[in-house]
Amino acid sequence: DSGVTQTPKHLITATGQRVTLRCSPRSGDLSVYWYQQSLDQGLQFLIQYYNGEERAKGNILERFSAQQFPDLHSELNLSSLELGDSALYFCASSGYGPGQDHYNEQFFGPGTRLTVL
């Protein structure tokens, strides 16, 4: 158990819909990363938050957005869903922060499997 929790575990929805994926980082970790794993694209970085602020963006579509709340949990919002959005979405957390070891291990959650029908 990595200490990172993600809900829900599975999500089945229809095209055009909007869903929210939730991630709770390990206790004390300020940094949260979101990754998408699909058969076509492999594992791709989407976005990172550090202590409530967006820190970096990767291959994240404009239809997707995220935020990190004061209690450090994060949500990834996916809207106007398309068939191609079906994937496994991972959240990872690390203790990265100013003054800390910048290659702190990222601990991954079990993922949310999204199926768009």
Shortest Cβ 16–another protein spacing (Å): 28
Site for another protein in 17-76 (CB under 8 A): 33, 35, 42-45, 48, 50, 55-56, 58
Question: Applying CB under 8 A, does 93 fall inside the site for another protein?
Answer: no
Question: Pick from 70, 107, 102, 113: which is nearest to 91 by CA?
Answer: 107
Please, which residue, 14 or 39, has the CB nearer to another protein?
Answer: 39
User: 97: which strand partners?
Assistant: none
Please, which residue, 13 or 44, has the CB nearer to another protein?
Answer: 44
d(CA 44, CA 36): 5
d(CA 27, CA 47): 20
- Give the interface segment with another protein, choosing from 18-26, 60-68, 74-82, 106-114 (CB under 8 A): 106-114
60 burial (CB, 10 Å; 0-12 / 13-18 / 19+) is: middle
Question: Applying CB under 8 A, does 86 fall inside the site for another protein?
Answer: no
Q: Which of 64, 66, 76, 109 binds another protein (CB under 8 A)?
A: 109
- Give the interface segment with another protein, choosing from 15-23, 69-77, 79-87, 95-103 (CB under 8 A): 95-103
